Amino acid sequence: MSNRAKLFIPAAFFVTMMGLLSYGLFQDPSHVPSALMNRPLPVFSLPALSDETKQISSSELKGGIYLINFWATSCAPCMIEHPYLLEISEREKDITLVGVNFWETNADDAREFLKERGNPYKISLSDKNSKLGLDFGVTGEPETYVVDKTGTIRYKHIGEIDNTKWQEIFVPILKQLRQ
């Protein structure tokens, strides 16, 4: 192999790596593909956050539009998002907000948080061992999933929801699901 050819290999590698890096820098970090997209909800049965003797199952999440929000009291973006979720729960009466308290070892902390700051969730689940979060592929809180009337996941959102994201991302999806 000639000396010129030996120089070409590292240069080609460098150019390829720079191209991949440049591509990654311009991607939206809140849009991560989900293996669950357009698939049924994972089958689950979890205790209600308010009463851990009561079980709520995935079969109960059909016949309406659901936003399933994974959150924790230790999650700073969840704190930012919380007031907006309260607004959504007041304004969007045809949507059921489902809160999944994720990785919280002490459910009392989560119950106290919702008592003090308001509870936007019509259904609250306790996922202490994070099994449901793992089944959904949650990488961190908050993550929100849009589920249609058939119990099929239609969208996954990573990060907090605010008015801009709601208008630009969620409103078009919900308009389509409401038809």
Which pLDDT band holds residue 176 (cuts at 50, 70, 90)? very high
Domain boundaries of the chain, sorted by first residue: 31-178
pTM of the model: 0.81
Residues of the chain with pLDDT > 90, as a percent, come to: 74
The tens digit of pLDDT for each residue in 42-80 reads: 999 999 999 999 999 999 998 999 999 999 999 999 999
- Cα gap 132→26, rounded to integer Å: 31
What is the number of alpha carbons within 13 Å of residue 82 lying toward its C-beta?
19
What is the number of alpha carbons within 13 Å of residue 92 lying toward its C-beta?
23
Q: Which CATH class is domain 31-178?
A: alpha beta
* Residue tagged 């002490």 (tokens): 106
The tens digit of pLDDT for each residue in 90-119 reads: 999 999 999 999 988 889 999 999 999 999
- Compute the average pLDDT of residues 159-171: 97
